[in-house]
Amino acid sequence: MDFDFEKMMVLARDNPEEFERQRIMLLDGLIQSRPDIKWANAFQSHIDMERIKAKTPLACCLRLYSMMWESFLNLDEQMQRLLRIQGGLHALGPPGEDKTSQPGGYRTPVAEKVLMFRKR
């Protein structure tokens, strides 16, 4: 995919119709290159609907920003769930091993580096 930011910036300023045509063409090329084309099309449709509903460019930016954070927090929630499961499995340890001799039992090293985020 060949994307020239400067060219697109000039088009957006000087020729909005051509900018929109190029934007759609670039997005379509990106979507078609994905293995999950149906999902990517659905996601792009959702983004397009949010853009349409927004009354100003700033409102559009805030809507898309909110979508991004919602997705990120959902991913974080899933990762935390997996880490809790993984921690539970590590706490069991190998069969026949006695955990009472180890203070604190097993720890999941990666779990100590994960930041917890609250939903907004």
Residues 47 and 71 in one domain: no
- Type of residue at 78: Q
Tally of structural domains, the chain: 2
DSSP state of 102: S
* pLDDT, mean of residues 32-46: 93
Query: Average per-residue pLDDT in the chain?
Result: 83
Residues 41 and 6 in one domain: yes
Position 58 in a domain? no
Q: What is the extent of the structural domain holding 118?
A: 67-120
The predicted-structure confidence for 55-97, as pLDDT tens digits, reads as follows: 999 999 999 999 999 999 999 999 999 988 887 766 555 555 5
Q: Is 108 in the same domain as 74?
A: yes
Instruction: Give the span between the Cα atoms of 79 and 82, in whole angstroms.
Output: 5
Range 39-63 average pLDDT: 94
Residue 102 has a pLDDT of 46
pLDDT at 51: 94
> In which element (H, E) is residue 42 found?
helix 37-53
Please report whether residue 61 resides in a domain: no
